[in-house]
């Protein structure tokens, strides 16, 4: 414990200033709080050097005194934790929760009233802190004053997407000097001059607004909470606790991925036995709509027909998939569905979709029907029908529902207590509450939720393991032709940014890269010469390992997999639930190499390892020591790599599939073509 007492004069009064520090168990990270000037602030050092300069703490309220200046700091308590907990499903089964904690109190120097307590946890991989505010009656937060003042602001690089934007989280990442960031969503990743990497985010976002980072001068960012429709940031009744504000710190980029800070700061599982939450792989009547082969709405090209679904289910059964997602089964899609959210029914099928019959057929062939609830942002319309929709799916034996909230910027529709329609952001307080209400209610019906256009992930899967995945980023759908596609750097960018927050339903595995450009809707998004996935086939396979999700889709049409059975074998083999994961190499937006050991479960022995390597528009050779494999064990490495003649623009299909015996003492040399990758199964022999 370090407590320095100084004397200084403020407004002619003599006051004592305090400084309190807490360090990580390995002593590399130190978090220091101080009340030594007008503002209460904190700073963070890594290996003795500042990474966060003095940064303000506090709040401003409507109709209540602000809590951020002339506050006195005192220590409340200290404690430490070192325990291990188990995930029911995940990228890592056992997670170590190891930190030192300091709780402090800030009191008003004038009236001596309690301002807030700050709870700080310092782990070896970063810090988390949150506020507890004691209050009676209503409180309206006008501004959260928390700052993150990043060092090296002229020279450090930030990797970020806009916050509170028109397309929610679905943006391409920008790579700019820290001082050129505007309003950024989190996690925002930063590479400092020393090569140290930071990621600023939040954990356990519950009954609060999502935080974006608003750059002020130099590298100083202020928390910017998504406003409610009434302009207030957050409304609270009585005492409240904020989400954790988090700063991951690592000596290199892969270190950010090998961190479980966000999960550790969430509450343990509140659902009890979650055997009914099942990781797995699925296909769907989905890509066909995006490439305009099918329609969501009724008519000649309606995708969700009984016959088509049965065909997909038979394909799924034949190739070992667990489920078939069916979009466009319910009424409400005809016309401009993005504008007409109140027309969606969550119980009524189109006449050519016999939901009873397809569910029955699924049971016969051992494949689950996966539900779909697109709301197009109609929060109230959905809430009014949600339980009925869940009841229907529960009765039919459905286990998972994909939800969707396609609405732009501040336009999700929610009726307030007076029945007046209000317009909200995806991350404003009431919508944050809606998402969790949806997940909790689904749990009562034994249903898991995969939220698209969701608020960002803040680790709530730990507390509610039926929140099985989210989209919350630009996924494969953008490669279908209705928008400028994701450039080759997108996935190596996601790995070090979006993926730090939790599983993503990216939907990999597009095998047909020659489909004709679709008509309409592309000009405004910027038509490019290659309105299709900018990838090689090997990269599509590597995405199953690189992009973690307990549910992975094989996104292409069944007929396209039937045409390419050899690479398809990798998709059939790869599991979606892991004993452990390790990010081995990489640089943000350039390349990434990740290895994962399968979890022993059903058809999986738990012995095999998988590896995914992905590069951006640059070809590169990576040397991968296999020291992560079990010593003394021989493996057959089934390697799916870019072929000699591959070129993502002219010949994306060239793939070389080879097999060789390896052990932990070998090193593999992987040649990744531009926009390419490699996927490997290490089969224990």
What residues act catalytically? Answer: 477
Output the smallest distance, CB 406 to ligand NOJ, in A: 5
The DSSP bridge partners found for residue 621 are 671
DSSP-derived 3-state class of residue 362: helix
Residue whose C-alpha is closest to residue 619's, from 591, 645, 654: 591
Pairing mode of beta strands 244-250, 197-203: antiparallel
Selection from ligand NOJ, Ca ion, none that 286 binds (CB < 5 to 8 A by kind) is: ligand NOJ
d(CA 480, CA 391): 33
Q: Are the C-beta atoms of residues 486 and 478 closer than 8 Å to each other?
A: yes
Question: By CB under 6 A, is residue 568 in contact with ligand NOJ?
Answer: no
Q: Identify which range of 12-20, 444-452, 544-552, 634-642 contacts Ca ion by CB under 5 A.
A: 444-452
Pairing mode of beta strands 467-470, 448-451: parallel
Output the smallest distance, CB 165 to Ca ion, in A: 14
Residue among 290 and 452 whose Cβ is closer to Ca ion: 452
d(CA 639, CA 678): 7
String of contacts with Ca ion for each residue 450-469, x by CB under 5 A: --x-----------------
d(CA 177, CA 573): 42
Question: By CB under 6 A, is residue 406 in contact with ligand NOJ?
Answer: yes
Q: Which two tokens stand for residue 452?
A: 């698209």
Question: By CB under 6 A, is residue 286 in contact with ligand NOJ?
Answer: yes
d(CA 39, CA 72): 10
Output the smallest distance, CB 566 to ligand NOJ, in A: 28
Q: Are the C-beta atoms of residues 682 and 608 closer than 8 Å to each other?
A: yes
Output the smallest distance, CB 374 to ligand NOJ, in A: 4
Output the smallest distance, CB 40 to ligand NOJ, in A: 42
Output the smallest distance, CB 423 to ligand NOJ, in A: 19
Output the smallest distance, CB 477 to ligand NOJ, in A: 5
Count the residues of the shown chain that bind ligand NOJ, applying the rule CB under 6 A: 8
Residues 597-626 that bind Ca ion (CB under 5 A): none
Q: Are the C-beta atoms of residues 521 and 617 closer than 8 Å to each other?
A: no
Classify residue 328 by its DSSP letter: S
d(CA 182, CA 168): 15
Selection from Ca ion, ligand NOJ, none that 168 binds (CB < 5 to 8 A by kind) is: none
DSSP-derived 3-state class of residue 162: strand
Q: What is the DSSP string of 225-282?
A: EPPPTTS-SEEEESSEEPPEEEEEEESSHHHHHT--HHHHTSPPPSS---TT---EEE
Output the smallest distance, CB 163 to ligand NOJ, in A: 19
Q: Which two tokens stand for residue 268?
A: 């343990």
Selection from Ca ion, ligand NOJ, none that 125 binds (CB < 5 to 8 A by kind) is: none
Q: Are the C-beta atoms of residues 501 and 458 closer than 8 Å to each other?
A: yes
Output the smallest distance, CB 168 to Ca ion, in A: 8
Instruction: Write the CB contacts of 37 (distance below 8 Å, at least 6 apart in sequence).
Output: none
Q: Are the C-beta atoms of residues 485 and 478 closer than 8 Å to each other?
A: yes
Residue among 382 and 570 whose Cβ is closer to Ca ion: 382
String of contacts with ligand NOJ for each residue 514-533, x by CB under 6 A: --------------------
Selection from ligand NOJ, Ca ion, none that 374 binds (CB < 5 to 8 A by kind) is: ligand NOJ
Residues 334-393 that bind ligand NOJ (CB under 6 A): 374
Residues 144-183 that bind ligand NOJ (CB under 6 A): none
Residue among 297 and 558 whose Cβ is closer to ligand NOJ: 297
d(CA 352, CA 195): 58
Output the smallest distance, CB 372 to ligand NOJ, in A: 7
Hunting for tokens 């690592």 — which residue is that? Answer: 250
Q: What angle do CA 423, 428, 430 make, to 5 degrees?
A: 80
Residue among 361 and 452 whose Cβ is closer to Ca ion: 452
Residue 605: Cβ within 10 Å count: 10
Output the smallest distance, CB 382 to ligand NOJ, in A: 13
Classify residue 672 by its DSSP letter: E
Q: Which two tokens stand for residue 482?
A: 């209705």
Residue among 368 and 372 whose Cβ is closer to ligand NOJ: 372
CA dihedral 50, 54, 60, 64 (to 10 degrees): 130
Selection from ligand NOJ, Ca ion, none that 422 binds (CB < 5 to 8 A by kind) is: none
Residue among 52 and 392 whose Cβ is closer to ligand NOJ: 392
Selection from ligand NOJ, Ca ion, none that 144 binds (CB < 5 to 8 A by kind) is: none
d(CA 491, CA 488): 7
Residues 435-454 that bind ligand NOJ (CB under 6 A): 452
Sign of torsion over alpha carbons 405, 406, 408, 412:
negative
String of contacts with ligand NOJ for each residue 457-486, x by CB under 6 A: --------------x-----x---------
Sign of torsion over alpha carbons 594, 597, 602, 603:
positive
Residue among 125 and 477 whose Cβ is closer to ligand NOJ: 477
Residue among 91 and 505 whose Cβ is closer to Ca ion: 505
Q: Are the C-beta atoms of residues 187 and 200 closer than 8 Å to each other?
A: yes
Count the residues of the shown chain that bind Ca ion, applying the rule CB under 5 A: 1
Residue among 92 and 480 whose Cβ is closer to Ca ion: 480
Residue among 321 and 344 whose Cβ is closer to ligand NOJ: 344
d(CA 204, CA 242): 9
In terms of phi and psi (left: phi > 0; alpha: psi -120 to 50; beta: otherwise), the region of 93 is alpha
- In three-state form (DSSP H/G/I as H, E/B as E, the rest C), the secondary structure along 313-363 is HHHHHHHCCCEEEECCCECCCCCCCCCCHHHCCCCCECCCCCHHHHHHHHH
Selection from Ca ion, ligand NOJ, none that 222 binds (CB < 5 to 8 A by kind) is: none
Single out the residue of 70, 147, 202, 327 in contact with ligand NOJ (rule: CB under 6 A). 327
Output the smallest distance, CB 389 to ligand NOJ, in A: 14
Selection from Ca ion, ligand NOJ, none that 404 binds (CB < 5 to 8 A by kind) is: ligand NOJ
Residue among 128 and 297 whose Cβ is closer to ligand NOJ: 297
Q: What is the DSSP string of 96-155?
A: EEEEEEEEEEEEETTT--EEEEEEEEEETTEEEEEEEE---SEEEEEEE--EEEESSTTT
Classify residue 185 by its DSSP letter: -
Residues that bind ligand NOJ (CB under 6 A): 286, 327, 374, 404, 406, 452, 471, 477
Binding site for Ca ion (CB under 5 A): 452
């Amino acid at each position: 414990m370090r407590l320095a007492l100084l004397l200084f004069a403020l407004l002619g009064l003599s006051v004592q200033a305090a400084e309190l520090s807490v360090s990580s168990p390995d002593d590399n990270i130190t978090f220091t709080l101080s009340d030594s000037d007008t503002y209460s602030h904190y700073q963070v050092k890594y290996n003795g050097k500042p990474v966060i300069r003095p940064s303000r703490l506090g709040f401003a309220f409507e109709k209540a005194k602000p809590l951020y200046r002339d506050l006195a700091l005192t220590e409340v308590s200290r404690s430490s934790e070192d325990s291990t907990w188990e995930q029911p499903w995940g990228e890592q089964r056992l997670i170590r929760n190891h930190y030192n904690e300091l709780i402090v109190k800030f009191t008003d120097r004038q009236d001596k009233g309690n301002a807030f307590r700050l709870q700080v946890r310092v782990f070896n991989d970063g810090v988390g802190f949150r506020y507890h505010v004691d209050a009676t009656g209503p409180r309206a937060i006008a501004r959260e004053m928390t700052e993150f003042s990043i060092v090296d602001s002229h020279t450090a690089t930030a990797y970020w997407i806009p916050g509170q934007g028109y397309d929610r989280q679905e943006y391409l990442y920008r790579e700019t000097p820290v001082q050129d960031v505007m309003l950024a969503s989190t996690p925002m990743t930063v590479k400092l001059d020393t090569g140290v990497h930071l990621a600023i985010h939040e954990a356990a976002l519950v009954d609060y607004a999502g935080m974006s980072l608003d750059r002020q001068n130099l590298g100083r960012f202020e928390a910017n909470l998504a406003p409610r429709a009434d302009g207030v940031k957050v409304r609270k009744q009585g005492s409240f606790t904020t989400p954790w504000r988090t700063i991951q710190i690592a000596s290199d980029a892969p270190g950010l991925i090998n961190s479980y800070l966000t999960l550790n700061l969430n509450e343990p599982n509140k659902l009890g036995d979650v055997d009914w939450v099942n990781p797995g792989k699925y296909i769907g009547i989905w890509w066909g709509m995006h490439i305009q082969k099918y329609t969501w709405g009724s008519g000649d090209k309606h995708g969700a027909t009984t016959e088509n679904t049965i065909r997909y289910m038979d394909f799924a059964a034949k190739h070992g998939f667990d489920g078939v997602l069916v979009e466009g089964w319910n009424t409400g899609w005809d016309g401009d569905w993005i504008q007409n959210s109140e027309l969606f029914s969550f119980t009524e099928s189109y006449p050519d979709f016999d939901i009873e019959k397809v569910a029955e057929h699924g049971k016969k062939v051992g494949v689950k029907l996966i539900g779909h609830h697109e709301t197009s942002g109609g929060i109230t319309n959905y809430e009014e029908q949600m339980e009925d929709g869940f009841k229907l799916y529960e009765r039919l034996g459905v286990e998972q529902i994909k939800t969707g909230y396609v609405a732009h910027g501040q336009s999700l529709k929610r009726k307030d207590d007076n029945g007046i329609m209000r317009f909200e952001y995806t991350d404003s307080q009431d919508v944050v509450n809606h998402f969790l209400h949806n997940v909790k209610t689904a749990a009562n019906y034994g249903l898991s939720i995969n939220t698209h256009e969701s608020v960002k992930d803040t680790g709530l899967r730990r507390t509610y393991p039926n929140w099985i995945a989210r989209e919350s980023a630009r996924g494969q759908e953008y490669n279908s032709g209705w928008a400028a596609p994701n450039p080759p750097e997108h996935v190596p960018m996601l790995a070090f940014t979006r993926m730090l927050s939790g599983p993503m339903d990216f939907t990999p595995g597009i095998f047909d890269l020659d489909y004709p450009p679709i008509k309409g809707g592309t000009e405004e998004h910027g038509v490019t010469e290659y309105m299709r996935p900018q990838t090689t086939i090997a990269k599509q396979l590597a995405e199953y390992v690189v992009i973690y999700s307990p549910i992975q889709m094989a996104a292409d049409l069944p007929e396209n997999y039937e045409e390419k059975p050899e690479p398809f074998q990798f998709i059939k083999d790869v599991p979606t639930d892991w004993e452990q994961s390790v990010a081995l190499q990489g640089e943000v937006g350039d390349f990434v190499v990740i290895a994962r050991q399968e979890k022993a479960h059903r058809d999986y022995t738990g012995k095999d390892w998988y590896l995914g390597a992905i590069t951006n528009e640059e070809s590169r050779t990576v040397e991968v020591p296999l020291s992560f494999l079990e010593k003394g064990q021989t493996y057959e490495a089934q390697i799916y790599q870019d072929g000699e003649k591959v070129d993502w623009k002219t010949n994306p299909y060239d793939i070389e599939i080879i097999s060789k015996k390896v052990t932990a003492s070998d090193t593999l040399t992987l040649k990744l073509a531009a926009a390419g990758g490699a996927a490997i199964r290490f089969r224990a022999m």
